[in-house]
A and B are shown apart, each in its own frame.
Chain A
Amino acid sequence: MQPLAGYVFLGTAMFVLGVFTMVTRKNAIYVLMGAELILNAAALNFVAFARYMGNRLDGQMFAIFIIILAAAEAAVALGIVLQIHHHFPSIDVSKPDRLGD
């Protein structure tokens, strides 16, 4: 059985990379991909901890739930991106900044 630490390191790396992608990249697609990374980091952690805590199924359940959520989120987010592209002729996420007003 693999020690837990490896999974946790991997998950942390994925999370940090995802956050970094989301914060730095201007392209909305990259931002989405960052979000996917974060979600999967979380799912990985769920599974790893579920296994570690005594082979329980609830972690897996959450992982599956997250996968479904990620799919749905990706669908909605891509829709929004399309709309943004339709509204602003680009998918640069720093363009729509009217929330600040």
Chain B
Amino acid sequence: MDFFDDATPAWYALAILLLPAAGFCWNAFTYRTEFTRKRGHIVPLLTIGTALFCALTIFKHAVIDGDVGDTPHAASATHDAPAHDSGGADAPPAAGSLADPRWSWSSKAHGVVYRIIDTGALRIDAGITIDHLTATMLLVVTLVAFLVHLYSVSYMHGDKRFSRFFAFLQLFSFSMLGLILTDNLLLLFCFWELVGVCSYFLIGFWFEQDEPPKASMKAFMTNRFGDVGFLIGILLVYRMFGTTDLAEIYAGLQAVAEGRAALPPLFGWEAGTLLTVAGLCLFTGPMAKSAQVPLHIWLPDAMAGPTPVSALIHAATMVAAGVYMVGRIYFFFTPTALAFIAGIGTVTALVAATIGLVHNNIKKVLAYSTCSQLGYMMLSLGVGGYSAGLFHLYTHAFFKACLFLGAGSVIHAVHTEDMREMGGLKSKLPVTYRTMLIATMALGGVPFFSGAFSKEMIVEHALMWGWSHGLAHMLPAIVAIGGGGLTFFYMMRLIYLTFYGAPRDQHKFEHAHESPPAMTIPLMVLAFLSFFSVGWPMPFLGGHKLPELLAAPPALASIALGHGADHGHGGFALAFGVLVLSCLVIVFGYRLYKQTYKDRNPGPEVWVARLRPLHTTVSNLYYFDEFYRATIVRFSYATARVLALFDSKVIDAIVNGVGTVGQLIAAGFAAFDRIVVDGLVNLNGTVCHALGSRLRRLQTGNLQDYLAFAVGGMAFVTLLFLFLA
């Protein structure tokens, strides 16, 4: 019986998802106990280890055992159909239809579904999708997460918030895995923000210091910008298709591409504009999350967090989520949107690589390198290199995690992040040195290391794209090729400054020592994975290379707009040409490094002096921060102040003014009341009083006077009657 015949994979996937959540809860709710405080790593290690095991199982069944290749997964073809055709069940996919030919498995077909919300219009049934993309991604994330957990046991040892660190790592793992597993765009957004908030707390983990709180806030805010664009994109998608379920969106767009349906007219835009705008809105999310120019500014600052966090979140997994997301909704991007993505990727790859050349902080160099590699991935996706981009994501995850963990090991040893205070550590940190060197080779794209395969695929696609689109579109290819040299150069510079030459800080050098096994074992595993390239044709993959399994979905948006999507395949000649070209560039990069640093002929100082203005610009990170500070930040603060003033000085003043006018009117009425109305009443009283005070004289109190008055009165009345009668 096949693994994917019933709901079993869903339970595995749920275990992967929920175990880290449980680990978070455990650490959060028992943080006062002695066990958690001292041994806060045990439960998290268990949960992430189990998750790794489950991910391996899924990977084994989905990728290794699967009847993989260009045809759909034979065993699953029958029951993956309902998931994809739920949008157009009445029209069964005919031969040559645009149904997704790739294998995928949905838990909904097996009744594992969680209805999270249903308003009568929007209904979100959360399910789990497993395909080659998710299965591989799950494995990468759980593996790196496990290794980082293991590494952190030693790295964070003695920190007063040890257990809390693991709690957040667990929460992050949960969010990241949820992001991978979910089959709904809105839920993807939810997990997307959750990984953001985990990143926020982990960057700001040492919140007593000055830098981390600022960096964490910057990261969250930059991502918030992207997320809002993402959200607007989701709103637009929902408006177009009435759903946020990815399979249903696919079905909806498929119907459009097959000419069975039309997009609703919105804002008077035609379908092309609409799809492009929606795609670009959605892409702002990945732009922020994957640190693409101009929203890349947060990533280098994020290095203020603990180094394992940098390795896990800001190198291997979370920042790659943007790439993953673009891959996940790849069918949705129009050629224009893809060209934009390629452009952004190109700029990022170049800008970040140049900054990496001059920075002196070991982690920041790596951060800019990450940025640049993410640019590569985006570039690749943009030029149609779907599998190349995602494959680069996987290879990058391993060697960049290795580099960061290695950097952490170095920092652990010398207690500084400034490379100017390092040097000559090769002898003191042999394991770290060797693993980092392997990872550097992989990152630099030295042949036979993993990075070389993914990078060459990217270059290949960029070349073909440029070829078919015209000369101006060759820019991504040029940057992709040239960037390889830059990458190799700045990575060798990092290795040189850290490990070679004479120690520049003798005191730190003498106290340096190799890290404990809990830290070096993950390094070695990752170094092995950086070398042992899954880009090779694997016997266990049935002779296929992994990237072949990551076939791109039909480019529905392009087809809907009447474009062809396939750029064709370059064949062996192109691949060989690219390989030679890449080697040449690497050799050039190495020569440059050797001349500058090893032979000092001329040394780096000379180059700096020669290229002074350029160097200043690049060292100041192209003034992005200053620009944002002078515009957006200043504008927000100014707006806030002006509006607050408006609120208190105008609106409140109007309210108080109304009150004052009311009081004035009231005072007027009061005056009228007092002078006129009361006046009349008082006049009455005054007259009476005056009369009374006169007449009271008659009131002598003497009995006989009264009697006399009475008799007099009587006599008067009698006389009156007499006269009147």
Chain A residues within 8 Å of B, Cβ to Cβ: 19, 22-24, 31, 93-94, 96-101
| Residue in chain A with minimal CB distance to B714 | A19
| Residue in chain B with minimal CB distance to A94 | B702
Q: How far is the CA of A23 from the CA of B704 in the complex (A)?
A: 5
Q: A22-B704, A94-B702 are in contact. List 15 more A-B contacts (CB 8 A).
A: A22-B707, A23-B704, A23-B708, A23-B711, A31-B704, A93-B704, A94-B704, A96-B701, A97-B700, A97-B702, A98-B701, A99-B699, A99-B701, A99-B706, A100-B700
Chain B residues, Cβ within 8 Å of A96? 701, 703
Chain A residues, Cβ within 8 Å of B708? 23
What interface size band does chain B fall in?
10 to 19
Chain B residues, Cβ within 8 Å of A23? 704, 707-708, 711
Chain A nearest Cβ from B704, distance in angstroms: 5
Chain B residues, Cβ within 8 Å of A31? 703-704
| Residue in chain A with minimal CB distance to B708 | A23
| Candidate in B699, B700, B702, B708 with the most chain A CB atoms within 10 angstroms | B702
Q: How far is the CA of A24 from the CA of B699 in the complex (A)?
A: 18
- Which 5 A-B pairs have CB atoms at the shortest separation, nearest pair first? A100-B701, A97-B701, A99-B701, A100-B699, A100-B700
Chain B nearest Cβ from A34, distance in angstroms: 9
A19, B701: Cβ atoms closer than 8 Å: no
Q: How far is the CA of A24 from the CA of B704 in the complex (A)?
A: 8
Chain B residues, Cβ within 8 Å of A98? 701
| Candidate in B700, B701, B708 with the most chain A CB atoms within 10 angstroms | B701
| Residue in chain B with minimal CB distance to A19 | B711
| Residue in chain B with minimal CB distance to A93 | B703
Q: How far is the CA of A38 from the CA of B702 in the complex (A)?
A: 20
Chain A residues, Cβ within 8 Å of B703? 31, 93-94, 96, 99
Chain B residues, Cβ within 8 Å of A101? 701
| Residue in chain B with minimal CB distance to A34 | B707
Chain A nearest Cβ from B85, distance in angstroms: 111
Chain B residues, Cβ within 8 Å of A22? 704, 707
Q: How far is the CA of A66 from the CA of B289 in the complex (A)?
A: 120
| Candidate in A19, A22, A94, A100 with the most chain B CB atoms within 10 angstroms | A100
| Residue in chain A with minimal CB distance to B697 | A100
A-B contact pairs, 25 of them (CB 8 A): A22-B704, A22-B707, A23-B704, A23-B708, A23-B711, A24-B704, A31-B704, A93-B703, A93-B704, A94-B702, A94-B703, A94-B704, A96-B701, A96-B703, A97-B700, A97-B701, A97-B702, A99-B701, A99-B703, A99-B706, A100-B699, A100-B700, A100-B701, A100-B702, A101-B701
Which chain B residues numbered 683 to 707 have a C-beta less than 8 Å away from chain A?
699-704, 706-707
Chain B residues, Cβ within 8 Å of A100? 699-702
Q: How far is the CA of A100 from the CA of B704 in the complex (A)?
A: 12
| Residue in chain A with minimal CB distance to B700 | A100
Chain A nearest Cβ from B701, distance in angstroms: 3
| Residue in chain B with minimal CB distance to A99 | B701
Q: How far is the CA of A99 from the CA of B701 in the complex (A)?
A: 4
Chain B nearest Cβ from A23, distance in angstroms: 5
Q: How far is the CA of A31 from the CA of B707 in the complex (A)?
A: 11
Q: How far is the CA of A94 from the CA of B703 in the complex (A)?
A: 7
Chain A residues, Cβ within 8 Å of B702? 93-94, 97, 100
Q: How far is the CA of A73 from the CA of B170 in the complex (A)?
A: 112
Chain A residues, Cβ within 8 Å of B699? 99-100
Chain A residues, Cβ within 8 Å of B700? 97, 100
Q: How far is the CA of A23 from the CA of B709 in the complex (A)?
A: 10
Q: How far is the CA of A100 from the CA of B709 in the complex (A)?
A: 14
| Residue in chain B with minimal CB distance to A24 | B704
Chain B residues, Cβ within 8 Å of A24? 704
| Residue in chain B with minimal CB distance to A16 | B711
| Residue in chain A with minimal CB distance to B715 | A19
Chain A nearest Cβ from B712, distance in angstroms: 10
Chain A nearest Cβ from B72, distance in angstroms: 120
Contact with A along B150-169 (1 / 0, CB 8 A): 00000000000000000000
Q: How far is the CA of A97 from the CA of B704 in the complex (A)?
A: 10
Q: How far is the CA of A101 from the CA of B708 in the complex (A)?
A: 19
Q: How far is the CA of A98 from the CA of B699 in the complex (A)?
A: 10
Chain A nearest Cβ from B707, distance in angstroms: 6
